[in-house]
Structure 1
Amino acid sequence: MTRTVFYPIGTPGTPWTQKEREEWRASQPRRRSYAVDVVPRVEALASRFDVSVYGSLDYGEDSYSLYALRNGAPDPALPTALVTGGVHGYETSGVMGALQFLETRAADYAGRVNLLVVVCVSPWGYERINRWNFDAIDPNRNFRKGTNVAECAHLMGLVAAQPGPFLMHIDLHETTDSDETEFRPALCARDGTDYEPDIIPDGFYLVDDGENPQPAFQQAIIAAVEKVTHIAPADAQGRIIGSPVVARGVIEYPAAKAGMCASVTTARFKTTTEVYPDSPHATPEQCNAAQVEAVCAGLDYALANRGTIPSPQR
């Protein structure tokens, strides 16, 4: 069943033109500061990690430096793991969880793995608490070869320049009530399509790469996160956000086909976390802690089960 949902920009059934995109952009005030919330914490880590700027974004009067952190010079004898946060800027614990991991737990992996951490892929979206970037584009559907989405192109360039193959990539996200109240209606308005309502799951879940599923890896993360916050149940149709539940707290998407951030490496072990910050049973502190537990559990499992790492295919 589909239904028309009023969205204050555009004409129902008609895709947006540049005029509507500009109208949408004008309706997105800055609500928090990347320069205040994120950059000082990154700079404070410079004494413990190699901090570099891997790109910059220039949107109107706003400019943002994009930061990557490494736990030292890459050691070719060690596997490499990528942690990304803030691909969707409004998903706060993705950014804060990545920072908290660096501040509290990353040192545990010194000499065991080459860590590459990007704490906020989409700072314009972070400041507006929005899923989209300046151009009303979802970065997490545009990680594709030849992309013209700056957030995606910069991250893909960073990954391509990393020596050696990746063992693991974990991309930190949230599913929020605003997905149904704002972002999916906005998507349908932008694309001129009908809105089909869905149910926001109450709890944490994972999105495995359907093109290379690793069920034991996913369950190791679920078991660790469950100590911090609750796991989302399936709905009455056995689904989470419209996708069949393949194991407790796990659904699958074909990451590369969907243009998701989880497709930027050829790592054997990949996942996208989804924390639910609007639950009455979860606090912001629990959400951040859940992201940290997910990263650590993923690293622990991947390192214990690394076997032979295949040659990189980019």
Structure 2
Amino acid sequence: MNAAAHPYPIGTPGTPWNNSDKQQWLALQSVKRSYQTDVVQPLETMQSGLALLQYGQLQYGAATYPLFALKSAQWQSNKPVALITGGVHGYETSGVHGTLRFAQAHADDYAGQLNLLIVPCISPWGYETINRWNPSAIDPNRSFYAESPAGESAALIKLLGTIAEPILLHIDLHETTDTDNSEFRPALAARDGTYHDNWNIPDGFYLVGDSHKAEADFQRAVLDAVEKVTHIADADENNRLIGSPLVQHGVVNYDTKKLGLCAGVTDARWVTTTEVYPDSDNATPEQCIVAQVAAIQGALGYMLRQMA
């Protein structure tokens, strides 16, 4: 289905949005769930060997969003860092809750072996409004570069600048949903004055690696852990996932730094982005959360084996 046949209700087809169009889009957004209740309160009451720190704050209209991270309370200067991020796209729910679940239930398993830096919800406004963008119609996951226009991305970059120890691993938790085709890709095409075709949404879990450091064995270790929880997506009839060529079962690669993706925000050796499909008939919301946790455990387990 081409967007030309079903134009987005904001803007003029073929013409990028002006400020008035962006304000019209913003006026249609509404709060649907609570960042304070779902994310901040669990962080503040979490019982684990992790220290809670506020690394920034976003102000959108009358709403204030403090930004929080968790880090190993017994931080060791002679140990590398594993970075875990979620909620870059706030609407991708299991990324946020999978990060929180791992922090609460499993982070202590790694105490003394490595330093953990966990950022559960990078885009709190996006979480509350179930959105891919921030209020300025900017995608934080295309904005991880110097002088970023997205406050969400800039705040994380600033936090990472305070970490002296090498970041050896980064796993970024995401979802691919049916609303990518029904809302977010059409909105993107309208905003940029282009056109889009729907792509096949993979049914199952898959990974996006970095084309400059594919690390096939690392990606396989993550998928092996996830496969115990939920199914891995098969390629389409063109041997692609989400429009990209398959490089190994369940894995496609992107140039993460060039695209400004969160996965490219560090120089970590082992990098991957998880993608679960919460709209699958073969998976539940709980399975999606557990799959995200399994992915983190698979990634950290591989890292520790390589360090041994």
Same fold at TM > 0.5 = yes
Structure 1 gap segments, 5+ residues each: 308-314
Instruction: Tell whether 2:239 aligns with 1:238.
Output: yes
Structure 2 gap segments, 5+ residues each: none
In the TM superposition, 1:107-122 aligns within 5 A as 107-122=108-123
Partner residue in 2 for 1:250:
251
Residue 54 of structure 2 aligns with an amino acid whose one-letter code is V
Whole-angstrom distance in 2 between the partners of 1:3 and 1:60: 32
SS of structure 2 residue aligned to 1:66: strand
Partner residue in 2 for 1:310:
none
Work out whether residues 86 and 122 of structure 2, in 8 Å CA contact, stay in contact via their aligned partners in 1: yes
Q: CA deviation at 1:305?
A: 1.1
| Structure 1 residues 168-199: Cα deviation after superposition (integer angstroms, max 9, x where no partner) | 00000000000000000000000010112211
Whole-angstrom distance in 1 between the partners of 2:307 and 2:234: 30
Q: CA deviation at 1:3?
A: 4.6
Residue 88 of structure 1 aligns with an amino acid whose one-letter code is H
- Structure 1 stretches (4+) deviating beyond 3 angstroms? none
Work out whether residues 167 and 306 of structure 1, in 8 Å CA contact, stay in contact via their aligned partners in 2: no
SS of structure 1 residue aligned to 2:94: helix
Q: CA deviation at 1:74?
A: 2.2
Partner residue in 1 for 2:193:
192
Whole-angstrom distance in 2 between the partners of 1:18 and 1:223: 46
Partner residue in 2 for 1:312:
none
Partner residue in 2 for 1:35:
36
Partner residue in 2 for 1:62:
63
SS of structure 2 residue aligned to 1:286: helix
Partner residue in 1 for 2:9:
8
SS of structure 1 residue aligned to 2:68: strand
Q: CA deviation at 1:45?
A: 1.8
Partner residue in 1 for 2:204:
203
Sequence identity (%): 54
Instruction: Tell whether 2:237 aligns with 1:224.
Output: no
* TM-score of the pair, normalised by structure 2: 0.97
Q: CA deviation at 1:160?
A: 1.2
Residue 40 of structure 1 aligns with an amino acid whose one-letter code is Q
Residue 251 of structure 1 aligns with an amino acid whose one-letter code is V
Q: CA deviation at 1:48?
A: 3.5
Residue 115 of structure 2 aligns with an amino acid whose one-letter code is N
Work out whether residues 79 and 114 of structure 1, in 8 Å CA contact, stay in contact via their aligned partners in 2: yes
Partner residue in 2 for 1:182:
183
Work out whether residues 206 and 218 of structure 1, in 8 Å CA contact, stay in contact via their aligned partners in 2: yes
Residue 119 of structure 1 aligns with an amino acid whose one-letter code is P
Q: CA deviation at 1:46?
A: 6.2
Query: RMSD over aligned Cα, in angstroms?
Result: 1.2
Instruction: Report the more deviating stretch, 90-99 or 137-146.
Output: 137-146
